[in-house]
Structure 1
């Protein structure tokens, strides 16, 4: 039985099944994000002030000196919080159907994908068009290697390195190097390579 007292957006942010299709609020927020992303992705390397201004309009909150190399894509933008000196290289994707909190001094190599959104595994439920989302938290001073995928509901601790091509399906603690599919802790950041 579904809770009719909640809007689809409230269900989405609560991690409950929600129906984004034809929901006026979610469609309007998605269209707003698409417009801002089009503007952002058309900027040139000499338009840094315009890029930052567009990110401030797109994201829920941003820290000082963010750099996101176009092209960049997200669902809504308004559920994304980034700290100071965030850097994301080419082809970054953040599906922010739930809160995505990224700390200070986080570096993302090309084609990093951060997915708060997912679909039900039950095919009957999936055919209804309903979706799910779980929040993601990335700590301070994290480096995420090229092509890594951060899955819904994951937390990555401070000072951690995620290896290129990793698929992070579970929480990763602070101060480690983690790699693989699924991503596993390889060693402490202080241990010799």
Structure 2
């Protein structure tokens, strides 16, 4: 099998040129914005927000150790919550601790899953049926 060099203008050629133009140690492009030394060299403001702040702003972010720690904390709480019956007072207390806000008369049946928990607000007298997953990488309000 013979290897042919990529054609001028091919996808691989474009990637090679992009890597070459970026250069070593010049930072990277994320979401159309320069980071690292490229931003500083071009006089552009650096984005010093945390990945958590970027996530809540609905922007591109990296799942870093701080987000992983929050997700692990949520997973532990969900394991305890899902081991209790729906109307158990202990389950209700754990849910109130997990959510940003939770009104009175909330019933969540069966297995409940979410990413972080702390971005979810649930009003009063809300019923959520079995096997619900809420992807709360941003604020979620129900009821």
Q: Tell me which interval the TM-score lies in, with the shorter structure as reference length.
A: 0.5 to 0.7
Shift of 1:4: 3.1
- Tell me which of 59, 78, 90 is aligned to 1:50: 90
Aligned to 1:5, what secondary structure does the other structure show? coil
Question: 2-side partners of 1:67 and 1:99: how far apart?
Answer: 20
RMSD: 1.3
Corresponding residue pairs, total? 100
Question: 1-side partners of 2:73 and 2:105: how far apart?
Answer: 23
Question: 1-side partners of 2:96 and 2:112: how far apart?
Answer: 14
State the TM-score, normalizing by the size of structure 1. Answer: 0.50
Bigger proportion of residues as helix:
2
Alignment of 1:62 onto 2:102: yes
1:10: which partner in 2?
A: 53
Structure 1 gap ranges (5+)? 104-193
2:12: which partner in 1?
A: none
Does the Cα contact within 8 Å between 1:40 and 1:70 map onto a contact in 2? Answer: no
2:136: which partner in 1?
A: 96
Shift of 1:97: 0.1
Shift of 1:28: 1.1
1:33: which partner in 2?
A: 74
Question: 1-side partners of 2:139 and 2:101: how far apart?
Answer: 11
State the TM-score, normalizing by the size of structure 2. Answer: 0.66
- Tell me which of 80, 87, 97 is aligned to 2:127: 87
Larger Rg: 2
